[in-house]
Amino acid sequence: IANIKNRKFIALDISGKNYLSWVLDVKLHLSAKKLRHTIDEDNAASNEERATALIFLRHHIDDDLKYEYLTVENSLELWQNLNDRFEHLKAVVLPKALNDWSQLRFQDFKTVSEYNSTLFKIVS
């Protein structure tokens, strides 16, 4: 439980269901820590910066993913491996979200709260 409290946001699930929001969170947090360049191609990050970014990434992924990528010692390599594994989700999730958005009608809901809930699910 202490591990969960130290996380800045929800860890990447092994199924990848939260991958798209996780990517955004990681990029924002690494930018705030001035470490965003560590996950960019052809970066000139120091070993210390790479290690700090790698620790951050490993801290925010599911334990089973940690074990799977246990031998990866570079933040860029881990980022690319996760990207290769889950990037296809954009092709699956985005068309469904666009369809749901086009079908969304306020009059189909009994309360504003129900409408807002559905709206935020589509947006996320």
| Residue 97 lies inside a defined structural domain of this protein | yes
Instruction: Name the pTM for this structure.
Output: 0.70
| Residue 30 lies inside a defined structural domain of this protein | yes
Q: Given a cut of 80, is residue 48 above it in pLDDT? A: yes
Q: Which residue range forms the structural domain that includes residue 89? A: 18-123
| Residue 11 lies inside a defined structural domain of this protein | no
* 12 and 60 Cβ atoms separated by less than 8 Å: yes
Q: What is the pLDDT of residues 89-119, one digit of tens each?
A: 777 777 877 888 888 888 888 888 888 888 8
Q: Given a cut of 90, is residue 120 above it in pLDDT? A: no
What Cα–Cα distance (Å) separates residue 4 from each residue in 9, 11, 38, 82? 9, 9, 24, 21
- The CA-based angle 20-122-108, given to 5 degrees, is 170
Number of domains making up the chain:
1
| Residue 116 lies inside a defined structural domain of this protein | yes
Q: What is the pLDDT of residue 6?
A: 67
| Residue 5 lies inside a defined structural domain of this protein | no
Q: What is the pLDDT of residue 56?
A: 93
The per-residue pLDDT of the chain, averaged, comes to: 86
What Cα–Cα distance (Å) separates residue 107 from each residue in 53, 75, 114, 115? 47, 48, 11, 9
| pLDDT band per the 50, 70, 90 thresholds, residue 58 | very high
Q: Given a cut of 60, is residue 1 above it in pLDDT? A: no
Place of tokens 């860029």: 76
